[in-house]
Structure 1
Amino acid sequence: MILAIITLLIVAFLAFSAFVAYKMVKPPRFIGDWTPKDLGYDYEDVTIETQDGLKLSAWWIPNEGPVVMPLHGYTRSRWDEVYMKQTIEFLLKEGYSVLVFDFRAHGKSEGKFTTVGDRELIDVLSAVDWLKKNHPKKAEKIGLIGFSMGAVVTIRALAEDEGITCGVADSPPIYLDKTGARGLKYFANLPEWLYTFVKPFTVLFSGAKELNMLEYADKVRKPLLLIAGENDPLVRPEEVREFYERNKNVNQDVELWVTDAPHVRTLKFHPEEWKARVRDFLSKHL
């Protein structure tokens, strides 16, 4: 009887861990109702076909300047109003052209599961392909501004795609397992230790491969602006600083800005300074 009860408890615990993992890799779709037209700009609804066969929903907003692609974070989409809407408006007012899409399994894009930075790199590379095919002159210089998961992809794209010129990585998770464990508490009010049991199921469901972001500190040799917040519950500023110090050894164009903001909230807490720093960075490198 005792053995049966213990077995039942173990099965129930594993089933709960699997349920949590499923919810993590299949976030709710965040879809809004505003468009670039509300910001005063004409745009096109476009579809980006990824290299692995998915269709991403996107907006193409042409302007006189080079292209910058804002990349949203986990659980969000291009409709996010905490940082995406403001970033899109800022870029358009600065004269940049904007291509913005929903990552796989987010917003209106296809995809059953998110891999939180792994296969999302394919999404960015496919967006670059779309630009080269449809707007080749605009594809000569491309900047990225990524937030959280989008910041991870920004760093990876700088290292792995020749078509990317420079990037801003706002609140980039460096130790993804630590951020994942903190995320359980932040998003679901669950204990961080549960992540040890949840992680294998996330890999099973999504097929994501494990990323070592510190390896990219040895690979990125293009202009990169890192932004970290002292009050970030998901990404410790010292983790971003570790990446920065290591990247400095191979990259003379890496910058670090540490603020007092929570996760991806520097733009909200310090909008004018964020815009000034990003404006200067893009003007210099793009």
Structure 2
Amino acid sequence: MNLNKFFFLIAAFLILIAAFINVAPTLITGNFIYPTRIDSTYIRFHSIENSAIDTNLMRPSDVGLDYSELSLKTASGELLKGWYIPTTDTPANTILIIHDLNQSKLMMLDQIKQLHDRGMHVCIFDLRAHGESGGEIFTIGMPAVGDMKLITDTLLSFLETKHIVLFGMGIGSAIAMQSAVFDGRCDAIVLQSPFNNLDTYLSRYSYKKWGNMKYLWYPIFRKKVEKLLEYPVSDLDLTKIAAFNELPILFITASDDDEVFTSETLQIFLASASQKKDLFLVKKADHNNIALVGGEKYYNRISNFINTVLPREPKKTRYKKLAFNDYERNN
């Protein structure tokens, strides 16, 4: 082999490596960063293959609820799409549902109705890159926390908003906990299947996706996730964050959950600094059917917890603060 051919092969090899490094994060991150978009088009398409899918349940009005459609534009230009379902009981609490990875508000109609029927204003938005919301890339880091702040701003502009409860499910639990600590305007939290730290979650996700090949792909995957988080993966540790949370908090976990183990939820529960905390175990349920298996007891437990820890009247301090801010803006 002559020298020119040798250098040509070396150069070609290096180009292939560079191309792989550039493209690999997109190819291997899968639905953790590029989620499955479950919207009305997705539902109708899959109903052809699965007759059990009901295409008549697409909006809150399909289950007898009056609602408003909300659209909010993020600082980076993505459009967030949501629903707001008020109740006629003006002093009611407002619950903001934060869905799990690869879900959408379309999948939450039963939860919406059940919570609304128990006397709560209900709000739910599709997360970025989910459902009808804009964006192609999802992260549970600071961009998601910023989105929750934007939604909270909107809810607090409604006259009927007295207290806000963040209800995070799965990945949504991490967003809810971060929002509670960094934003601080919610009054209670409900966490369903929260993982104790992101490092453990990503490692488990990687093993399920790649098996023994995990050790080849995980470093690239983790680096991509960390870039989108805007902070180190190791910093998203709900056990540590819970130690700074003094808000009332309800933890919900499933006995047969193989995505987030019950022991993880228990660790966060024990670490929480809240004096008003509770733990609810749904037996014979897995990660995706907690509400279905829990049934009436599940919804009553959530409702009773919220009504117990939050008074029916607005906090005077909140409105004094808002009035002071309004005065500053007008002078």
Identify the TM-score tier after normalising by the shorter chain: 0.7 to 0.9
Deviation at 1:101, TM superposition (A): 0.7
Q: In structure 2, what is the Cα distance between the partners aligned to 1:147 and 1:224?
A: 13
Alignment match of 1:283 (pick from 276, 295, 307): 307
Q: Which letter maps to 1:184?
A: S
Corresponding residue for residue 162 of structure 1:
184
Contact 1:78 1:107 in 2 (8 A): yes
User: Secondary structure of the equivalent of 2:278?
Assistant: strand
Residues 17-26 or 107-116, more deviating: 17-26
With over 3 angstroms needed to count, the CA separation of the structure-2 counterparts of 1:13 and 1:258, relative to structure 1, is farther
Name the amino acid aligned to 1:251. Answer: S
Hey, what does 1:114 align to over in structure 2? 138
CA contact (8 A) 1:58 1:102 kept: yes
Aligned partner of 2:99 among 72, 77, 82: 72
Kept in 2: contact 1:171–1:264 (CA 8 A): no
C-alpha contact (below 8 Å) 1:218/1:246 kept by paired residues? yes
The one-letter code of the counterpart of 2:181 is A
Query: How much does 1:163 deviate?
Result: 2.2
- Name the stretch that deviates more: 251-260 or 269-278: 251-260
Are positions 1:243 and 2:268 aligned together? yes
- Structure 1 residue runs of 4 or more that deviate by more than 6 Å after TM superposition: 3-13
Query: Which residue number in structure 2 is paired with residue 127 of structure 1?
Result: 151
Q: Which stretch has the larger CA shift, 44-53 or 97-106? A: 44-53
- What aligned pairs does 1:1-286 form with structure 2 within 5 A after superposition? 14=21, 16=24, 18-21=26-29, 23-32=31-40, 34-63=58-87, 64=89, 65-80=92-107, 84-133=108-157, 135=158, 137-186=159-208, 188=209, 190-191=211-212, 192-193=214-215, 194-204=217-227, 206=228, 208-209=230-231, 210=233, 211-247=236-272, 250-260=273-283, 261-286=285-310
Following TM superposition, by how much is the alpha carbon of 1:171 offset from its aligned partner in structure 2, in angstroms?
0.5
Which sections of structure 2, spanning at least 5 residues, go unmatched? 1-5, 41-54, 311-331
The CA deviation at 1:89 is 0.9
Instruction: Kindly indicate whether the alpha-carbon contact (under 8 Å) linking 2:24 and 2:220 is maintained by their aligned counterparts in 1.
Output: no
Q: Distance in 2 between matches of 1:268 and 1:6?
A: 53
Instruction: Supply the distance in 2 between the matched residues of 1:265 and 1:107 (Cα, whole angstroms).
Output: 20
Q: Which amino acid aligns with 1:227?
A: I
TM-score, normalised by the number of residues in structure 1: 0.85
- Separation in 2 of the partners of 1:273 and 1:6? 61
Is residue 60–residue 99 contact of structure 1 (8 Å, CA) maintained in 2?
A: yes
Deviation at 1:215, TM superposition (A): 2.4
Secondary structure, counterpart of 2:303 in structure 1? helix
Partners of 2:220 and 2:101 in 1: how far apart?
21
Conserved in 2, the CA contact under 8 Å of 1:70 and 1:87? no
* Deviation sequence 1:157-214 (CA, Å, 0-9, x none): 222333211111001122212212222354x46444442332113334x354332322
Distance apart, 1:122 and its partner CA: 1.4
Q: If you compute each CA radius of gyration, which structure gives the higher value, 1 or 2? A: 2
Amino acid at match of 2:112: I
C-alpha contact 1:117 1:150 (8 A) present in aligned 2: no
Distance in 2 separating the partners of 1:51 and 1:169: 27
CA contact (8 A) 2:59 2:109 kept: no
Deviation at 1:142, TM superposition (A): 0.8
Listed as ranges, the gaps of 5+ residues in structure 1 are none
| Larger relative contact order, structure 1 or 2 (CA cutoff 8 Å, min sep 6) | 1
Indicate the SS of the match to 2:256. coil
Secondary structure of the residue aligned to 1:139 is coil
Residue identity matched to 2:36? P
Distance change >3 Å, CA 38–CA 223, structure 1 → 2? same
What amino acid maps onto 2:301 in structure 1? R
Counterpart of 1:228 in 2: which secondary structure? Answer: strand
RMSD: 2.6
In 2 relative to 1, CA 22–262 (structure 1 residues): closer, same or farther, beyond 3 Å? closer
Provide the rounded CA distance (Å) in 2 between the counterparts of 1:104 and 1:39.
Answer: 25
Give the Å deviation of 1:78: 0.6
TM-score of the aligned structures, taking structure 2 as reference length:
0.75
Which residue identity lines up with residue 219 of structure 2 in the other structure? T
